[in-house]
A = this chain, B = another copy of it.
Amino acid sequence: MASATLSVDLKALAANWQDLNTMADGKAAAVVKADAYGLGVAPVAKALAWAGARDFFVAVAEEGAILRKTLGKGPRINVFSGHMEGDTKLIRDAKLTPMLNSVDQMLRHVEALPGHPFGIQLDTGMNRLGMEDVEWSALRDLALAQKPTLIMSHLACADDPDHEMNAQQRQVFQEMTQGVTTPLSLAATGGTLLGSDYHFDMVRPGIGLYGGLPFIDARPVVSVDIPVIQIRDVAVGETVGYGNSWTARSPSRIATISAGYADGIIRAMGPQAHFYAQSSAVPVVGRISMDLIGVDVTGLAEEPTHLELIGSHQSVDTVAGFADTIGYEILTSLGARYTRVYN
């Protein structure tokens, strides 16, 4: 078996959700967009529902329709992109709750699906999704009369607790929702960690469930192990991989492992990346290619059959650092070729 293994610890996932839910006084939803951050939405969402999550968030209606098949009738499935042109049938049939972003979406929704549940997204300064103050002022009475399920916004800088933007967005959110009795939501994982001032009626953790920063106390959820295809001796002066970018300076043992950038091991990681053989760090040599990577295993006491990319020796966030990116991107890039194992 040359395909690499991606193991997902569903107990750790459920425990992370429960911790964040406790932290937020029982108000936690679960964000499972992008195929549950690349981990597989069906088993992940089932585990979260089992742990007690009743509100789920996805990015687009198509994801919501898939999730509904997994979750069955009960849980609420909320869609961040709202009600787009062409979404009506999916929203109706899969009983999705679009988080409407604009006057256009509001009109589309109430016209196409009168009486169908919806939420509202407000922009409090991130300028990404949601109604601006002026739009909201014009629409507010009409919208509230339709009894939205939720009014939400999103923080731009919650990963940095000291950023002044956090309090500023909270204040704008409070001003925009003054006197409203609809349930309110502002925080994702970072916002949940900012404290109860940011929790309102619902928090929406994503990355924290999957074991990533900024939830520093998260249990690790993901491990990735990659089979070694072969190991060879490389003499001084010999090169390894595309473009001859690495040359042996001393006699070396080089393992070729069966994964590459098609498996989310970002090409830009190059020689910054290393893997683990038991507790020994072993560095990448040469360019990361689509399906194969060369790793210097010189001096290991035993020839490894597998190398660890993510696991007990290095976290998703450590791996992200190899490519100067964030753990979120590592998770969503892992791709379809892994043998996925759920424990």
Residues in A lying within 8 Å of B, measured CB to CB: 1-3, 33-35, 38, 59-63, 79-82, 84-87, 101-102, 104-105, 123, 125-129, 132, 156-157, 159-160, 163, 165, 227, 229-230, 232-234, 238-244, 254, 256, 258, 261-262, 264, 266-268, 286, 289-292, 294, 305, 323-326, 328-329, 332-333, 335-337, 339
CA distance A234 to B125 in the complex (A): 10
Which B-chain residue is minimally distant from A288 (CB atoms)? B329
Is B128 touching A261 in the complex (CB atoms < 8 A)? no
Of the residues B85, B128, B239, B332, contact of A156 by C-beta under 8 Å: B239
Q: A1-B86, A326-B267 are in contact. Are A229 and B289 (CB under 8 A)?
A: no
Q: Is the beta-carbon distance between A81 and B258 smaller than 8 angstroms?
A: yes
Assess whether A289 is in contact with B60, with CB atoms less than 8 Å apart: no
Query: Are B156 and A244 in contact, CB atoms less than 8 angstroms apart?
Result: yes
Q: Is the CB of A337 within 8 A of B63?
A: yes
Complex formed: what's the CA distance from A165 to B239 in Å? Answer: 10
A1 in complex: contacting residue of B34, B61, B240, B332, CB < 8 Å: B61
A2-B87, A101-B229, A157-B243 given; name 5 further pairs at CB < 8 Å: A2-B79, A2-B81, A85-B305, A262-B332, A290-B328
- Once bound together, how far apart are the Cα atoms of A45 and B132, in whole Å? 48
What's the Cα separation between A254 and B264 when bound, in Å?
A: 30
B243 & A156 in contact (Cβ 8 Å cutoff): yes
Specify which chain B residues have a CB less than 8 angstroms from the CB of A233 in the assembled complex: 132
Q: A230 contacts which of B102, B329, B339 (Cβ < 8 Å)?
A: B102
Q: Are A33 and B290 in contact (CB under 8 A)?
A: yes
Query: CA A254 – CA B156 in complex, angstroms?
Result: 16
| A289-B38 contact in complex given A60-B2, A157-B244, C-beta closer than 8 Å | no
Residue numbers in B under 8 Å from A305 (CB-CB): 85
Contacts of A294 in B (CB 8 A): 127-128
20 contacts between A and B (CB under 8 A): A1-B60, A1-B61, A1-B62, A1-B87, A2-B79, A33-B291, A35-B336, A59-B258, A59-B337, A80-B291, A85-B305, A101-B230, A126-B239, A127-B294, A129-B292, A156-B239, A156-B243, A157-B243, A261-B328, A290-B329
